[in-house]
Copies of this chain bind each other. A is one copy, B any other.
């Protein structure tokens, strides 16, 4: 392997053939790979993962050491070389190329170095947006409405035709929470035309009631909604996220703890869901800081890939409606196609849409969609900050939407997900101890399973050319890109079997 590596380093023209040679020498079926590569969405993808060194190799280790002088490195999973990454494959500085089914924590939608996005990044409009960044609330561009309508709003969830833009999932959730608090207080006050009292104005400046609302956001155990102070108070996934950070005394309900496969435990799962709903209603009625909104992920992602049924979400919508509590659906991780629908909450067939839906990650921009102007705060400058989002990222999302449409990637992902899930069911029946609680059937490639030695599993995966992530305490979560195809699934399945055999 070292001779190959040396040759690869000194003769770049050899890289492609070396890739084939290396994978031939390693562990993949080259004939099948060649055929597969021919039909890939990404024509420059390697036919299979390429391992030239261990991961991290010497160059990666050197780069980590250099970075550690000035930047946090203890959470580094893999030092990457994005100039060499392509499609579903992430490269590193040592020339390794791993099939990436983690995709920057589920945030790369259409492949590394996507040629269509490269074009978008080079348009005059993008260059303009980068070098002339506006304060969108004060000085929007005359093209901003068009950018929104042809991009972010083109894919707006049904029933939600307005948007506030933001920078990332965390602040998207926080500004949605702020909207909920302002709406709730406005309702309590008697409507949008009723002014603040002098007492409210004075006490708000002292962080005290009545100006500072004595309200809460209700979230669910094992949920993840970000790590700023407000959203972190709703995040309940892991102690390491929350320890030592001051928090609001907000309520949490139990997320239904379902048994998988779902169709084999229908009755007890329905009971768990009803118990959760009862708890939500109890908390809404009794919590000392009444909830202005309930926030929920369609599939709890960071918290361990926890699912609930459409019936559960339908009832939750009805419950929040009944008690005049807003429903915020956090689609930061589930949104933009990975579940086989553009928005995961489309799986629920709600007649009464959520009040707000937050988004980020694969959208590369962020924000919240909302139901109507009624949910805009009653005065200007209440929902405001300097940048309020970023037109350059909105343009990027528009390009991503273009790729999704051009390649029909949502339907594609639904199909590939079914294919992958079927193969995983095969592995689970062959190795039940290694593929526990397989879940995500019918949810595109948004699939997970539990493994008793999860952290070892993730490390071992790299030795078979796979970059894969975890969630919750024991879950291996699959978060491939939307350009993940059946031949990638075959490579993944083959590698998964090797991983568990090696554990």
Interface residues of A (CB under 8 A from B): 59-60, 63, 66-67, 69-83, 85, 90, 92-93, 104-105, 107-108, 112-114, 117-118, 120-122, 126-135, 137-142, 144-145, 148-149, 153, 161-165, 167-171, 174, 177-178, 181-182, 184-186, 196, 200-201, 204-208, 211-216, 226-231, 233, 236, 239-250, 252, 289, 361, 364, 376, 379-388, 392, 396
Pick the residue among B107, B201, B396 that contacts A130 (CB under 8 A): B396
Find out whether the CB atom of B228 lies under 8 angstroms from the CB atom of A230.
yes
| A71 contact set on B, CB distance < 8 A | 140, 144-145, 148, 162-165
Say whether A211 contacts B242, CB under 8 Å: yes
CB-CB under 8 A for A93 and B130, given A171-B228, A242-B205, A245-B181: no
Q: Is the interface of A mostly helix, strand, loop or mixed?
A: loop
Query: Min CB distance, A476 to chain B, in Å?
Result: 16
The answer to whether B142 touches A239, judged by C-beta atoms less than 8 angstroms apart, is: no
9 A-B pairs with CB atoms under 8 Å apart are A71-B140, A71-B163, A81-B141, A82-B129, A167-B168, A204-B242, A216-B246, A230-B230, A244-B382
Measured between beta carbons, the chain B residues less than 8 angstroms from A83 are: 128
Q: How far is B236's CA from A211's CA once the two chains are assembled, in angstroms?
A: 13
A145: contacting residue among B66, B121, B142, B246, CB under 8 A: B66
Q: How far is the CA of A113 from the CA of B59 in the complex (A)?
A: 38
Min Cβ gap A100→B in Å is: 9
Residues in B neighbouring A148, C-beta threshold 8 A: 67, 70-71
Q: A167-B171, A239-B211, A385-B227 are in contact. Are A67 and B140 (CB under 8 A)?
A: yes
Contact of A207 among B93, B163, B248 (CB under 8 A): B248
Q: Which residue of B lies closest to A164 (CB)?
A: B72
A59 neighbours in B (Cβ, 8 Å): 142
The complex places the Cα of A245 from the Cα of B204 at a distance, in Å, of 8
Q: Which residues of B contact A81 (CB under 8 A)?
A: 141-142
Chain B residues near A249 (CB, 8 Å)? 207-208
A226 touches B364 (CB 8 A): no
What B residues does A229 contact at CB under 8 A?
174, 177, 228-231, 233, 248
A75 touching B384, Cβ below 8 Å: yes
Which one of B132, B185, B361, B385 lies within 8 Å of A82 (CB-CB)?
Answer: B132
Complex CA–CA separation, A67 to B121 (angstroms): 24
Most buried by B among A72, A252, A384, A396: A72
* Pair B153/A250 contact, Cβ less than 8 Å: no
In this complex, the member of A60, A129, A168, A388 whose beta carbon has the largest number of chain B beta carbons within 10 angstroms is: A168
A243 contacts across to B, CB distance below 8 A: 182, 185, 196, 200-201, 204, 211, 382
Complex Cα distance, B134 from A92, in Å, reads 13
**Residues in chain B near residue A181, CB distance under 8 A:** 244-246
A70 with B162: in contact, given A127-B118, A246-B248 (CB under 8 Å)? Answer: yes
Q: Report how far A163 CA is from B142 CA in the complex, Å.
A: 36
Q: Nearest-CB distance from A164 to chain B (Å)?
A: 7
A343 to chain B, nearest CB (A): 18
